[in-house]
Amino acid sequence: MIKGNALIGQSGGPTSVINSSLAGVIEAALSSSFIGDIYGMNYGIEGFMQEMLYDLGMQPRKVIEGLRHTPSSALGSSRHKVQESDFPVILNVLKKYNIRYFFLIGGNDTMDTIHRVEAYCKKERYDLIGIGIPKTVDNDLFGTDHTPGFGSAAKSNILNVMQAGILARDMQKVDKFVIYQTVGRDAGWLAAATALARKNPDDAPHLIYTPEFNFDQDKFLKDAEKCIKTYGWVSIVCGEGIKYADGTPVSSSKVKDKFNNVEFGAMGGTSVAISLHKMISSELGYRGEFQITESLIMSDFVRASAVDLEEAYQCGVEAIRLAEKEETGVMVSIKRTSNNPYAIEFGKVPLKDVAVSAKPMPSEYFNKEGNFVSPAFIDYVKPLIGDLPEFVRLEKKFAKIN
């Protein structure tokens, strides 16, 4: 068994529970007889190449414990795409600090980073165990039932749509529609989860549009008009990544990041919610609102899911278990063994199967029209969220004078 020091990093967008995973890795590593010092990358792989390292073993116990209840990325994050010229630098720093255990917490692009670093070290005959720990609010990682971060971000979205829906329902004489946009570049998991806000047929949301389906403007306007005639108003949820049949983003954004991902709503483009708002206003003549949360749902700890927090922590612990078994080039995965009662077990999946690609929602999780979810999806997502508030409405008992 290799003996050496450990390195932990956080990459990509933050979540409400990513620090819980960090706490799990640190606490399990402190108990390992194979791991010496525990270092943390300050600002991801960029900071690591500049030797910006936290000595996590020197952190007070209350700080490590407090990570389980602190949102965002405590180590500082990065979206740097590793270049070929970076690998020699990375290897030199690994050698300098005798790092033999390499853990990265993140999503698709993060798994690509650790996969490439681990493969480079193997080619250079440097013994390094590389383990990925899943994290993404988008829930689009292959090889795992769901990802830590999704449940909490979904719950935040659900509560936003639920409360905004009550507002819109009561203001329907002023505004006939409300559009809520959530993150989700290639998959609609977060947008779809807002269906849990709907307890009654006229509750928000009425329509949900995700990247899994080509966007059809004419059909969209007909869907919206039908809801307005039926309920007096319409609540619409859209994922930021919805596209037309020719692949053009509805947001009209043409800006891409270092990983060649479209940056929706960036310079030169209009956000999806604003685009849809303009369609309804100009074509149907109604007044309405749009709401765009962007990264706010990624660090909404007040609404964090208890299930999500615990699973995030256990994913960190499981990463150390895998490393002690000399597993490398894998990501911790979650396998659901029961829906009711909800139960999971941890496993592993090769990093090469996870890196870069995004996992869309399966077709059976949508209705036939592609504008709302199916009961199967409700069964899938419900255990990940936890309890939701129950709101009341006045009964339609109007005054009468005889």
Nearest CA to 102 out of 23, 13, 41 is that of 41
- Tell me the C-alpha distance between 160 and 391, whole Å: 13
Provide φ and ψ at 308, rounded to 5°: -60, -45
Query: From the CB of residue 88, how many other CB atoms can be counted at a distance below 10 Å?
Result: 11
- Tell me the C-alpha distance between 190 and 186, whole Å: 11
Catalytic annotation, pick one of 86, 109, 112, 138: 138
For 1, 54, 130, 131, 363, the CA distances from 51, given in Å and listed in that order, are 26, 9, 19, 21, 46
Residue 138 is a catalytic residue: yes
Active site residues: 138
